[in-house]
Structure 1
Amino acid sequence: MIEVTACLPRGPVFLAGETINCEIMITNISRDNNDLEVDTVAWSSVQIICQCTVSESRVQLHKTQIMSTEEASSTGCDTSFVPNKGERGLTVMCTKPKILFCNLRLEPGDSKSFKYQEAIPTEAPPSFRGQAVKYSYKVIIGTQRLDTATKLLRIPFRVMVMPGMNDLSVYNEGEEIRPSNPFLHNQRKENSVLDIALQVMATVTARKAPHSYNITNSKGKVAKFLLFKQAFKLGEDIVGMFDFSEGSIPCVQFSVTLQSEEQISEECRRKPGQGSAVTSYVKHQEMCLHTVRTHVNLPIPLTATPAFMTDIVCQRWRLHFEFVTSVSQLSSPAEVMSQTQDGGQWRGPATLDVETMVWDLPIKVFPTNPLHASSVTLLKTGSSIHV
């Protein structure tokens, strides 16, 4: 019996454009004394695929967006390599298959190791589990023994997409600006995709000038909201501050919710005028009557998907605000205490006539270091099958 084992040594999270490394081990685990013959494995091949699963009640795909099984494999018989066999959904991306070996002969107890490397296309969609659309990636390893059907080993992994990584040459230093040393041999060393992506992430998410927003309704000013930056990485905290000191309308309660909006493109919508799907992650709610200043802190989950856009779906991020304001003016505790020399006790009203107002503030969410995202993922880095 042959055992095929594969693992992703760096972890199951990668950026689009990076090279994925997979270590594969083929072992003859036969231990029966009566079975001492050399076992032959006909061939083994590896390929990366991206499957797209959609909700048929909300999404309608066109023929040009569907990759058939014939396009992802050469033939469809049991002895051929069909990477998307048994997979749900549609194959929207697949790399060219690479042959690891042919006619491998192993004696009982012997093993042979192989390394597979493949660059993830920069134009590939990210891993995404939305309400109407899902994208999932897998490394597919097909292996066949003589006179048996092909068996597939699947290793799922996650892909994050960083915008602006299609042309990496603009991020590498040119010869005219590179410092030269006449005593050293010039060796041009290009930055890796991960190094460049981390530099771009740090630049676009750096704290710059804070953004201030005046929150008003038809009757006057409610509060001022201060956001220190509008671009964030996965795993970062969104920190903002409310200032109610200049408000003319009493605010009784507010809430801030971190949300993502999944919007289907118009040509793929099942029904005209179909709305978008909203997913809420973290919510901060606070009673703020007579509060002068307060702050909010909303962590962005590492397991979430950053903003992206494909031909089928678009993912955006926003902060959803809800304010409950009083229709009439209310006396503050300081005013009650100043009316008597011996002090007094302030009690809140038993009933209030209130109004509710909502506001959505768009923000930008970018990927993070794949090593950080790997620390919280539930994906396994390795698997094995018997052939």
Structure 2
Amino acid sequence: MIELSAKLSTGTVYLAGEAIECCITFSHTTQPEHRNSQSHSDILENLAWASAQIHCFYSTSGSSGEKTPTVEKTTSLEVTSCDIGDVVFNTKPKILFCDLTIPLGDSKTFWYRESLPIEAPPSYRGTSVKYSYKITIATQKVNSHIKMVRIPFRVLPISPIVNMQDLANLCGNETTEELQPTNPFSEERKVETPLSMALQVLQNLTARRSPNSYMITNTRGKVGRFCLFKSAYKLGEDIVGTFDFSVGTVTCMQVSVSLQPEEILNTSSPAKVTKTPTSKDTSSRSMTVARYHEVTVGLTHSQLILAIPLHITPAFEAEQVSLRWRLHFEFVTTNEKLLPNTEDSNWNAPLNVPIETMVWNLPVKIYSTLPKQITQHTVGMDAYTMYLK
């Protein structure tokens, strides 16, 4: 019996453009019922071939009349019935070996390494669209059927940060030396790649503080002032802001802030589009992934701290869907007097208070973070085993 074990050596989360590595081992083990009696045919096991490649699956929950995006026809293993969706991207299969003989008790190890396209869509599980990635390892024993094992992994987007074509052009330009500190004692010049430059741009964008203040008003007057210290964040960061109700002329009873994605579907032709979808050919879906809530009666100031989950998908644009993020505010206000003055000795709280609720949406930019920062806080399956009898 052959035991196929595969393990992702660099984790289960990758940035688009990174190289993924998988250690694949074929071991000839003894079946328990045959430990005491072994024939000559059990001493050696023969495998005809083995290959590995990456598949990106795409699925929707829309109407049945929606067409599936096309993918270039290349040599690829067939999608089985257990796979949900259609293949929109796949790498060319890499042959690990042909005609392999493994003696009893021995094992053979092979390494599969493949670079993800920097423009590849990210892993995404939305309300209407889903992208998922898997490494497909296939092998066949002599005179037997093909067996496959699929190892899922997560891909984070990098291309929305900056135009990747511009970065590719900059990589060959001498001015790129000015983007990072130089070491006068170093003799070798570090070669910049589009991915490394994109990561540097990501760091610069999310580290920059640019406070913005917004005066919140309704038809009856000022509710308060909100200050957001920056508008670009990485996964795992906290969105921090302050409320100043001392400048308000309308009483704010409570405030809630929700972090919401905006899933914008491209409902036009499945052919590739080169423009940003407009409201005529898109549809949007929203949900809440994190929420802040506070009763603000009697408060002059309050602070917003909203943690960005590590499991969500950063903003991206793909052929079939685009994803953006926003802060959704809900203010509950009233014009009634709710708190007593110092001279009111017989003041009683009102039994009924007329209220109004106003909503406001503020776009925010959420980018990827380094994969190792996600793997430190998550437990995922990075090893799989399959038996060939």
Q: TM-score range by the shorter chain?
A: 0.7 to 0.9
Matched, 1:30 2:30: yes
Task: Work out the CA distance in 2 between the residues paired with 1:124 and 1:226.
Answer: 36
TM-aligned CA deviation for residue 56 of structure 1: 2.9
Matched, 1:131 2:127: yes
Aligned to 1:78: none
Q: Structure 1 length normalisation: TM-score?
A: 0.87
Task: Work out the CA distance in 1 between the residues paired with 2:175 and 2:236.
Answer: 38
Letter in 2 for 1:143: T
TM-aligned CA deviation for residue 38 of structure 1: 1.3
Q: Is the 8 A contact 1:256 1:283 kept in 2?
A: yes
Aligned to 2:312: 304
Deviates more, 1:201-210 or 1:18-27: 201-210
Matched, 1:3 2:3: yes
Matched, 1:286 2:282: no
Task: Work out the CA distance in 2 between the residues paired with 1:117 and 1:366.
Answer: 26
**Alignment gaps of 5+ in structure 1:** 75-80
Deviates more, 1:257-266 or 1:272-281: 272-281
Letter in 1 for 2:285: A
SS of 1:124's partner is coil
TM-aligned CA deviation for residue 59 of structure 1: 7.8
- Of the candidates 309, 332, 339, which is equivalent to residue 324 of structure 1? 332
Aligned to 1:159: 155
Please list the CA deviations of residues 226-260 of structure 1 after superposition, one character each: whole Å capped at 9, or x if unmatched.
Answer: 00000000000001100000101111111111111
Task: Work out the CA distance in 1 between the residues paired with 2:192 and 2:134.
Answer: 27
Q: Is the 8 A contact 2:47 2:140 kept in 1?
A: yes
Aligned to 1:82: 78
Aligned to 2:248: 247
Deviates more, 1:371-380 or 1:284-293: 371-380
Task: Work out the CA distance in 1 between the residues paired with 2:50 and 2:4.
Answer: 10
Shift of the 84–345 alpha-carbon distance from structure 1 to 2, 3 Å rule, reads farther
Q: Is the 8 A contact 1:268 1:312 kept in 2?
A: no
Please list the CA deviations of residues 270-297 of structure 1 after superposition, one character each: whole Å capped at 9, or x if unmatched.
Answer: xx88852212011111111221000111
Letter in 1 for 2:101: R
Q: Structure 2 length normalisation: TM-score?
A: 0.86
Deviates more, 1:250-259 or 1:91-100: 250-259
Aligned to 1:40: 46
Q: Is the 8 A contact 1:126 1:159 kept in 2?
A: yes
Q: Is the 8 A contact 2:168 2:193 kept in 1?
A: no
Task: Work out the CA distance in 2 between the residues paired with 1:274 and 1:47.
Answer: 33
Letter in 1 for 2:299: T
TM-aligned CA deviation for residue 368 of structure 1: 0.7
Shift of the 232–101 alpha-carbon distance from structure 1 to 2, 3 Å rule, reads same
Matched, 1:383 2:384: yes
Letter in 2 for 1:323: F
Task: Work out the CA distance in 2 between the residues paired with 1:138 and 1:379.
Answer: 14
SS of 1:276's partner is strand
Aligned to 2:99: 103
TM-aligned CA deviation for residue 220 of structure 1: 1.2
User: RMSD of the TM alignment (CA)?
Assistant: 2.6
**Alignment gaps of 5+ in structure 2:** 271-279
**How many residues get paired?**
366
Matched, 1:313 2:286: no
- Of the candidates 47, 51, 67, which is equivalent to residue 57 of structure 2? 51
